[in-house]
Chains A and B, each alone.
Chain A
Amino acid sequence: MRIIYLATKDLKQILQQKKSALFLLIMPLLFTWLMGIIFNQNENHDPRLPVGLVVLDDGVLGPHLRTLLNDSDTIRPLTPDQTDTAFIEEQVHSRLLAAVVVVPNGFSAMALDGTMPQLEVIVDRNTPAGQAADRSIQLASTRLLGAVQVARLSAAAAGHSESDAAWQAFVLSALDEAIQAWLNPRAKVVVRPAGIAASAPKGGTQASSGMMVFFATVGMITPGYILLSERHSRTLARMMTTSMTRAEVIAGHVLAMFIVCLVQVVLLTIFGQFIIGVHYWHAPGLTLLMASALAFWSASFGLLISSLARDENQVVLLVLGSTLVFGLLGGTFFPLELTNQSFATIGHMMPSAWAVDGLQDIVLRGSGLISILPTVGILLFYSTAACGAAILLLRRSLKN
């Protein structure tokens, strides 16, 4: 009970501080709105690598290849302004294009006749972009020629011979079907290496969840002031002359910080749901669980900062400094899915990365309790570590 009275006293003091409203609500709402605008402008931008497609063939396979290339997550085909070799090589060399594919004259005819023609690919295989583009081109080419094989085999199976008048029509329609099958597979296997996702979160979701996590720790500035002033005014030590135990005193302060952050996060999810249209509340239980894990992390972080800082300026510096590191590395400003593998790995050393992941898992990927629990567990781990360090530091003020 005394823990609750202590937390209530802290909350009263936190609410009396004018800065609280700024750090807890005004700034996060403003930043969510701004980040949302920035992300939405990039929404129309196709992030796939540009690949030039030059079709010197007048058969059916050129358009089919374009369709297959366009289906890729990695590359997007476009037609170069000029088709002479020097110009194309220059475009690849200066990296305006990741690669250029040339469909040589007579390609379709040869393929339909049963020989295996080669596509010409101009690419710099020493660059990661070149390698990625090359792999995607090879994949499209294999699929195209595979579809031709399938069409020829089904024509033979249907009893048509190549000299038949109907053969050509049959093969072309079978080819259409085979290509369609690649575009709409019955079952799709998605292999998603860390850091490179098929779909990065869209603007609103990233802005809302990222800023929520970012400001969860920024919001610890005023609660941090309160605990710091308890240390300085020696009221913290005085507390230990009552029969309160050290654990009760720490629990009371952590509880206040936890409540502050939980209320903040819940208000921001309500804003996210109704103003930005991010579906936080389609799974209220899970969202509350993630919000609590995030609030516990923030509270532990706040406890640690206020036991480290020597004065109010240091509270601000330490909170903003570490939150910026967590935020920039940990995917609160831009999705880690858009970064390379080593950045994403480092990013996932930040508790903020897990908090963002957890929220986006619920909102975007419809994850259930079981898939959320490890994320919650990792946040609890970070929280416990921060609390432990804070308690060691606070022993000086809380001698018993």
Chain B
Amino acid sequence: MTNEIAIHIKDLHKSYNGFTAVQSLNFTVRKGEIFSLLGPNGAGKSTTISMLSCLLAPTSGDALLLGHSISKTPRAVKEVIGVVPQEIAVYDDLSARQNLIFWGRMYGLKGKQLARRVDEVLDLVALTDRQHDRAGHYSGGMQRRLNIGIALLHEPQIVIMDEPTVGIDPQSRRKILDGVKELNARGVTVLYTTHYMEEAQELSHRIAIMDHGRIIGEGTHSELIRIVGGLIRISLTLRQSPGNLIEMWRALASVHSVSEENGAISLLVKDSTSILPVVFESTARAGISVTGMDVQEPDLEAVFLHLTGKALRD
């Protein structure tokens, strides 16, 4: 990694008829970095990606990718980036190989170079064995891998990936995450979006947490964890409705925050050993049974909870 800047986002805004999807976005990604945008659905990640890929014009602000402005020189930007869209944008009725050859041509590759890159990419996304089968017959994971492979054909210096692991099995996800690391090891800068904190944590050199179109926290994993200080997260599942227990716990001095979503309760606390007996005693007294409990060291989930007062996952 160097200190040279690969992506420089300057006060980017996007609104749709009065609804602001992205606002006051400012961050930089260094060359050779994996940078993740972590946020729940609707946070504005895809809108940001669309603007960076020059598919969507920003309402205001600009971004520079390797020095090329998305608003002034979009063609130069497109030359240096590879975009993996959130949707699986491949041709179902063509084979993986036909898809790669076609997209390679759209990226301007030809002849021997095209054939070499198609083989390399098939290898990288582990589809060599099934390269002649129709993409429509692939599993979700294979389609996702093809979707990624297409964006790598022209050996872009920056790869932008929008939730590339949504809805696939753990094995395929493993392959994809390893692939991203391998790509990065070859010097490619990666801008990665996800709503899975484990992915952001495992892959990224730096992470920006996004919610409601804004970045609410940014830094390395350990920098972000420091935001929550020594707070520990307790997750509880109750059989009955918690009623006024939540208000009661919130009032306790060593409890930092409490949130409830779909029956799952999260408490951020300074010291779990003193709080846990209180929690059990109060549930017992209210006649509520605890069906699940988990105590976690500080993680990004806790950071998100701390910053927004709600859980990252729904």
**Which residues of chain A have a CB within 8 Å of any CB of chain B?**
2, 5-6, 9, 12-13, 16, 229, 233-235, 237-244, 399-400
Q: B234 in the interface, Cβ–Cβ < 8 Å?
A: no
Chain A residues within an 8 Å CB radius of B94: 9, 12-13
Chain A residues within an 8 Å CB radius of B91: 9, 13, 233, 235
Chain B residues within an 8 Å CB radius of A233: 87-92
Assembled-state Cα–Cα distance A242/B79 (Å): 7
Q: Total contacts A to B, CB within 8 angstroms?
A: 64
**A-B contacts besides A9-B102, A16-B93, A242-B107, 20 pairs, CB < 8 Å:** A2-B106, A2-B108, A5-B102, A9-B91, A12-B94, A233-B89, A237-B85, A238-B85, A238-B89, A238-B150, A240-B54, A240-B55, A241-B55, A241-B78, A241-B81, A241-B85, A242-B103, A242-B108, A243-B107, A399-B57
Closest to A16 in B: B93
From B78, B93, B106, contact of A5 by CB (8 A): B106
Closest to B150 in A: A238
Assembled-state Cα–Cα distance A244/B108 (Å): 9
Is the Cβ of B75 less than 8 Å from the Cβ of A243? yes
* Interface of chain B residues 79 through 112 with chain A (CB within 8 A): 79, 81, 83, 85, 87-94, 98, 102-103, 105-108
Closest Cβ of chain B to A166, distance in Å, is: 92
Q: B53 in the interface, Cβ–Cβ < 8 Å?
A: yes
Chain B residues within an 8 Å CB radius of A9: 91, 94, 102
Closest Cβ of chain B to A6, distance in Å, is: 7
Closest to B52 in A: A241
Closest Cβ of chain A to B110, distance in Å, is: 8
Whether A400 touches B54, Cβ cut-off 8 Å, given contacts A2-B108, A241-B83, is: yes
Is the Cβ of B106 less than 8 Å from the Cβ of A239? yes
Chain B residues within an 8 Å CB radius of A242: 78, 103, 106-108
Chain A residues within an 8 Å CB radius of B87: 233-234
Is the Cβ of B54 less than 8 Å from the Cβ of A243? no
Is the Cβ of A235 less than 8 Å from the Cβ of B90? yes
Is the Cβ of B106 less than 8 Å from the Cβ of A6? yes
Q: B242 in the interface, Cβ–Cβ < 8 Å?
A: no
Assembled-state Cα–Cα distance A2/B102 (Å): 10
Closest Cβ of chain A to B219, distance in Å, is: 29
From A6, A234, A237, A243, contact of B78 by CB (8 A): A243
From B74, B85, B105, B107, contact of A234 by CB (8 A): B85
Is the Cβ of B79 less than 8 Å from the Cβ of A243? yes
Closest Cβ of chain A to B18, distance in Å, is: 19
A–B pairs, 17, beta carbons within 8 Å = A2-B108, A5-B106, A12-B98, A13-B93, A16-B93, A229-B92, A233-B88, A234-B85, A235-B91, A237-B55, A237-B89, A238-B85, A238-B150, A239-B106, A241-B85, A242-B106, A243-B108
Chain A residues within an 8 Å CB radius of B85: 234, 237-238, 241
Chain B residues within an 8 Å CB radius of A243: 75, 78-79, 107-108
Assembled-state Cα–Cα distance A287/B94 (Å): 36
Interface residues on B, range: 20 to 34
Is the Cβ of A399 less than 8 Å from the Cβ of B55? yes
Closest Cβ of chain B to A248, distance in Å, is: 9
Chain A residues within an 8 Å CB radius of B57: 399
Assembled-state Cα–Cα distance A400/B54 (Å): 6
Q: B56 in the interface, Cβ–Cβ < 8 Å?
A: yes
Closest to B76 in A: A243
Chain B residues within an 8 Å CB radius of A6: 106
Chain B residues within an 8 Å CB radius of A2: 105-106, 108
* Interface of chain B residues 250 through 285 with chain A (CB within 8 A): none
Assembled-state Cα–Cα distance A241/B55 (Å): 7
Whether A241 touches B54, Cβ cut-off 8 Å, given contacts A2-B105, A2-B108, A5-B106, is: yes
Assembled-state Cα–Cα distance A35/B275 (Å): 88
Closest Cβ of chain A to B21, distance in Å, is: 14
Chain B residues within an 8 Å CB radius of A12: 94, 98
Assembled-state Cα–Cα distance A241/B74 (Å): 9
Is the Cβ of B83 less than 8 Å from the Cβ of A238? yes
Is the Cβ of A244 less than 8 Å from the Cβ of B106? yes
Assembled-state Cα–Cα distance A241/B86 (Å): 13
Is the Cβ of B75 less than 8 Å from the Cβ of A235? no
Assembled-state Cα–Cα distance A399/B106 (Å): 17
Closest to B110 in A: A1
Assembled-state Cα–Cα distance A237/B105 (Å): 16
Chain B residues within an 8 Å CB radius of A237: 55, 85, 89
Closest Cβ of chain A to B257, distance in Å, is: 39
Is the Cβ of B102 less than 8 Å from the Cβ of A234? no
Closest Cβ of chain B to A227, distance in Å, is: 12
Closest to A397 in B: B55
Assembled-state Cα–Cα distance A229/B92 (Å): 10
Identify the interface centre among A16, A238, A243: most chain B CB within 10 Å of its CB: A238
Closest to B151 in A: A241
Is the Cβ of B89 less than 8 Å from the Cβ of A5? no
Assembled-state Cα–Cα distance A240/B74 (Å): 10
Closest to B53 in A: A241
Closest Cβ of chain A to B212, distance in Å, is: 23
Chain B residues within an 8 Å CB radius of A235: 89-91
Chain A residues within an 8 Å CB radius of B83: 238, 241
Chain A residues within an 8 Å CB radius of B108: 2, 242-243
Is the Cβ of B75 less than 8 Å from the Cβ of A5? no
* Interface of chain B residues 35 through 76 with chain A (CB within 8 A): 50, 53-57, 74-75
Chain B residues within an 8 Å CB radius of A241: 53-55, 78, 81, 83, 85
* Interface of chain B residues 118 through 158 with chain A (CB within 8 A): 150
Assembled-state Cα–Cα distance A12/B95 (Å): 12
Closest Cβ of chain A to B148, distance in Å, is: 12
Chain A residues within an 8 Å CB radius of B93: 13, 16
Chain A residues within an 8 Å CB radius of B102: 5, 9
Closest Cβ of chain B to A140, distance in Å, is: 68
Is the Cβ of A5 less than 8 Å from the Cβ of B105? yes
Chain A residues within an 8 Å CB radius of B74: 400
Assembled-state Cα–Cα distance A233/B92 (Å): 9
* Interface of chain B residues 5 through 30 with chain A (CB within 8 A): none
Closest to B105 in A: A5
Identify the interface centre among B57, B89, B93, B106: most chain A CB within 10 Å of its CB: B106
Assembled-state Cα–Cα distance A235/B88 (Å): 8
Assembled-state Cα–Cα distance A400/B107 (Å): 16
Closest Cβ of chain A to B267, distance in Å, is: 41
Chain A residues within an 8 Å CB radius of B150: 238
Assembled-state Cα–Cα distance A2/B106 (Å): 6
